[in-house]
Structure 1
Amino acid sequence: MCQCIWVSHRLITVVNERNAVVQAYILIQTEVGKAAVAAATIAGIDGVASSEEVSGPYDVIVRVDATDAAQLTEQVVPQIQSVDGITRTLTCPVVTGSPRHP
């Protein structure tokens, strides 16, 4: 089964095997001093597999396991984006497929 989702105005195709989940990393920027609280709050959202405070250009990195693309884009991501202190998110779907042969 193949599912397509829109991320940052680009259509991404996610190949999903039976009983597999759509996975994504969400890179998050927060207001100064809000990363730890945001990461802890996000960890409690259904579908979030991990939520870690990091250093660098992003403040929090989240791993999401959704049942399908609709759950990812319509339920999980909006809940994450509504957490207090978040200023920007970038959703990066994990795209797995067959290896290419030369």
Structure 2
Amino acid sequence: MVQAYILIQTEVGKAATVAETVGAIPGVVTAEDVTGPYDCIARVEAATVDELGKLVIARIQDVPGITRTLTCTVVHV
């Protein structure tokens, strides 16, 4: 299981809507709007790194109102 945090920047005033929409996507464990340089943070899970990439590119980045994402993969050292 691959886990990651997706940091999301949105258009002005769209954070709550984006967080709600992203949170409903299969594979997204949680999505919340936050303060700071990013507007939303989502925690996601996928079976493989390739599936994680597809989730981010095909599903999350397709959500209206998102302007940029940054994927932070969880590592266990």
The interval holding the TM-score normalised by the smaller chain is: over 0.9
**SS state of the match for residue 33, structure 1?**
coil
Alignment correspondent of 1:37: 17
Structure number, greater radius of gyration: 1
Structure with the largest fraction of helix:
2
Alignment partner of 1:51 is 2:27: no
Structure 2: which amino acid aligns with 1:36?
Answer: A
Structure 1: which 4+ aligned runs deviate by more than 6 Å? none
One of 38, 41, 56 as aligned partner of 1:77: 56
TM-aligned CA deviation for residue 35 of structure 1: 0.4
5+ long unaligned stretches in structure 1: 1-20, 98-102
Higher relative contact order (CA 8 A, sep 6+): 2
Give, in whole Å, the separation in 2 of the partners of 1:51 and 1:36.
10
**Is 1:25 matched up with 2:5?**
yes
Give the deviation of 1:70 after TM superposition: 1.1
1:16-73, CA deviations, whole angstroms, 9 ceiling, x for partnerless residues? xxxxx10000000000000000000001111000000001100000000111111100
**Matched residue pairs, number?**
76
| Secondary structure of residue in 2 paired with 1:23 | strand
- In 2, the alpha carbon distance for the partners of 1:85 and 1:61 equals 14
Query: TM-score if structure 1 supplies the norm length?
Result: 0.73
